[in-house]
Amino acid sequence: MSATSSSSSSSSSSRPSAPQHGQSSAQGPESVDRLLELAQPPTLAQRLTAWGSRPPGRIYLPACAVVGAALLVEDSFPGRHLGSLVLAVGGGMLLALMGALRLGIALCVARPMIRRYWLRWITAPVLAATTVTLALADLPLQARVVASEDALLQQAAELNPSTTIPLDGERVGLYRLESGVHIEGPGDTETVRFDVRGAGILRSSGLAHTEDELPTGTFVPGHGGAVYKHLHGPWYSWTEY
């Protein structure tokens, strides 16, 4: 009888006591708080390393495309376009700085990521090179003028030869025109000149059409302060100085 009671008491004493409900609920939040104290926020260097280790993605590459499109739109205006120029230059410089920083970090700590995602890494430089090449060749401006040529010639035929005709932003082809004027030259020569809305940086600019060759890069007698630049065929751009 005593042996049985002693074994039962020893077995009961060897069992672990169940934690009390209040004690476990008190320890839970304390352990979470302790883990939060131990967890250190990433430093700036760690954040830059993690950012630079990833290839250009869903935000950077579309941003490059938008800036490239802004540059092409700016170049399609005679005499440039101020709003598009600010966006293209400012956005382009920012994206170029970000791309150079990211590439430098990747070359230091994540070269395998460059080899694995090489197409995404070269997309932005290819976009930039293509855009700059098209802009330097004036292809956006020439293409826009060719697309608007028929409408511009039709508008020229409707102008009064004796005075400048205000057009108040009327859309003609792919341009909005402020005014149009016929300028008589020596003999039977004639130049039709359009002032394009939004064209020019702090100066009026536009397009001109003539079957006679105009001097470029210099003032032309009888044409005021306009300086011409040849585009193609009978078409010129002009800027007022």
pLDDT tens for each residue of 127-185: 999 999 999 899 999 999 999 999 999 999 988 877 888 999 999 999 999 999 998 87
Provide the domain limits for residue 108. Answer: 44-137
Nearest to 155 by CA among 200, 196, 189, 121: 196
* 100, part of any domain: yes
Asked whether residue 25 is domain-assigned, the answer is no
Mean pLDDT, rounded, for 103-117 = 87
Q: Hunting for tokens 């250190």 — which residue is that?
A: 40
Long-range pairs, 157-160, Cβ under 8 A, ≥24:
159/192
pLDDT of amino acid 44: 79
One domain for residues 70 and 117: yes
Give the confidence band of 30 by pLDDT, cuts at 50, 70, 90. Answer: low
Residue 81 lies in a domain: yes
Supply the pTM of this predicted model: 0.72
Residue 64 lies in a domain: yes
pLDDT higher than threshold 80 for residue 48: no
Alpha helices in 15-117 (DSSP H): 21-38, 44-52, 60-75, 82-109, 111-116
Does pLDDT of 100 surpass 70? yes
Degrees, nearest 5: CA angle 74-173-67: 20
- Same domain, residue pair 81 and 171: no
